[in-house]
Amino acid sequence: MEITISAKNNNGLLGRAELNGTISFTGATPAYPQIKQALATQLKVKEDVVALKQVLTEFGATRAKFFAHVYETAEQLQKIEPKVKAKKDKKAEAPAEKKA
């Protein structure tokens, strides 16, 4: 997976950098946690300060556009980002339970 950042806007009021870019990949579109980890590695920041907002895959292509926010601190991310996304991430990490 190759990540290219095309635009970076520093938002000092919210304590974050707003990123736009593209992802080139092979096979299926990578999951949000994989993209988040690769982005954190490329920017040399911790994974807990990256909020991946949107991934838009181009039909039939092996590339996608993404929008992400990189916060200065994890506390800043917790204050600003909606809690619904955090619940969704936790649900994806938890193993699925089967009803009898």
Q: What is the pTM of this model?
A: 0.76
In a domain, residue 100? The reply is: no
Residue 86: other Cβ atoms inside 10 A = 13
In a domain, residue 98? The reply is: no
β-strands 16-24, 50-57 pairing: unpaired
In a domain, residue 61? The reply is: yes
Q: Which of 11-15, 63-67, 85-89 bottoms out in mean pLDDT, i.e. has the lowest?
A: 85-89
- Cβ–Cβ < 8 Å for 24, 2: yes
Q: Can you read off the two tokens belonging to residue 44?
A: 């040399």
Q: Percent of the chain at pLDDT above 70?
A: 83
Give residue 24's domain range. 2-93
Confidence of residue 60 (pLDDT cuts 50, 70, 90): confident
